[in-house]
Each structure stands twice: as C-alpha cells, then as structure tokens.
Amino acid sequence: MICNGHHNSDLTFNSKYHDRPNCFSSKSNQKGDWLMHLNIEGGIVSKKNDLEIMLHSSNIKIVCLNEHWLNDDSIFILNSIPNYNLAHFYCRTASTRGGSCILLQKDLEYKVRDDLCAFNEESVFEASCIEVLTLKIN
C-alpha cells in the first residue's frame, strides 16, 4: 500500500539540477531504486520535463509528489509523462498550493484506497492512497 500525504519535507526538486542524488530521494533495495518521493513546491509544468528525464533514466516504478499546486482541471497534465499513469491525486479546492499525487508505471495494477482518503481535510491532511496489486522488483 502506498499512501502519499502532505507533510513538511526538506526535499525540494530543483529543476536546475539533473544530478540524481541531489534531486530525489528513493527507497532502495538490493535490486535498485523503485520508489521516489518529491516535494516539488509547485511549478510542475516547468519541472515536468526534468522529471521525465529522471524517470526515463531510472527504474522508478512509483512516484509520489507533494505540493504539486495543481487543481482538478490541470492535474491530468501528469498523464502525459511517458510510461506512467496518474493513479490517484488530491487537489485543493478552497485555497491554492498543496496537493499530493501518485504516479505508477503503466504495467502496475492498483486500486484506490478511498477508505484511507476519507480522512482528507484541505490544508490539514491531503493524501493520495493506493494499493499496488502487482509489483515485481527486478
């Protein structure tokens, strides 16, 4: 199960840098990196190309983004990232900024965990929650 929620993070994606260790953090195992979390602090439209470059050259299967600052109408721009689907998202409606989302490689099966997302409250707890049904770590 993957639950990505809004929280304070010291990780910031800076679009000026493509150096892998400096621009993202990932959970690793012996078979490589497969999970990435980024607090992108808005501006995903300008940072999307950098994100695509990083993902293209990695084995990342799951991407968790916080502070995407998108709304329900603009969040689907993330579906244009090659080989990834927007699995679940939370966007603020009454204020700006915030938000969370989860991108998955297209070959992964999942289900949305609405039971966990039921606790969402804007500016307090903003979570995107899924259960990955198929995940092979090579």
Domains of the chain by residue range:
2-132
Q: In the predicted model, what is the mean pLDDT of the chain?
A: 80
Task: Read off the pLDDT of residues 85-138 as tens digits, 9 standing for 90 and up.
Answer: 999 999 999 998 999 999 999 999 999 999 999 999 999 999 999 999 988 766
Task: Read off the pLDDT of residues 46-56 as tens digits, 9 standing for 90 and up.
Answer: 889 999 999 99
Distances (CA, A) of 107 to 12, 30, 57, 113: 28, 21, 17, 19
Task: Read off the pLDDT of residues 2-13 as tens digits, 9 standing for 90 and up.
Answer: 666 654 333 333
pLDDT value at residue 13: 37
3-class DSSP assignment, residue 50: helix
Largest CA distance in the chain: 43
Query: Measured between alpha carbons, how far is 34 from 41 in angstroms, rounded to an integer?
Result: 22
pTM of the entire structure? 0.78
Question: Other CB atoms closer than 10 Å to residue 112's CB: what's the count?
Answer: 14
Residue 16 pLDDT class (50, 70, 90 cuts)? very low
- Beta 62-66 vs 32-39: how paired, if at all? parallel
